[in-house]
Amino acid sequence: MDKTSKADGQQETAQSVALLVRAMDYSAEKHKDQRRKNSNKHPYINHPVRVARRLIDAEINDVSIIAAALLHDTVEDTDATKEEIKNLFGAEIASIVDEVSDDKTLPKEVRKQLQIQHAPSISPQAKAIKLADKLDNLTELLEKTPIGWEPERVEQYFDWAKAVVDGLRGVNPALEQQLDEVFAKKADAARKACSSVA
Ligand X SMILES: Nc1nc2c(ncn2[C@@H]2O[C@H](COP(=O)(O)OP(=O)(O)O)[C@@H](OP(=O)(O)OP(=O)(O)O)[C@H]2O)c(=O)[nH]1
Q: Name the residues annotated as catalytic.
A: 76-77
Binding track over 32-71 against ligand X, x by CB under 6 A: ----xxx--------x------------------------
Which residue in 24, 27, 50, 73 binds ligand X (CB under 6 A)? 73
- 113-to-58, 93, 99, 106 alpha-carbon distances in Å: 28, 25, 15, 11
Closest contact distance (angstroms) between CB of 55 and ligand X is: 15
- Cα–Cα–Cα angle for 190, 134, 39, nearest 5°? 70
Provide φ and ψ at 150, rounded to 5°: -75, 160
Number of residues lying near ligand X (CB under 6 A): 14
Which residue in 4, 59, 79, 108 binds ligand X (CB under 6 A)? 108
Contact 86, 94 (CB under 8 A): yes
Of 87, 78, 173, nearest to 131 by C-alpha is 173
What part of residues 126-185 is at the interface with ligand X (CB under 6 A)?
Answer: 133-134, 137, 140-141, 146, 157
Q: Which residues bind ligand X (CB under 6 A)?
A: 36-38, 47, 73, 76, 108, 133-134, 137, 140-141, 146, 157
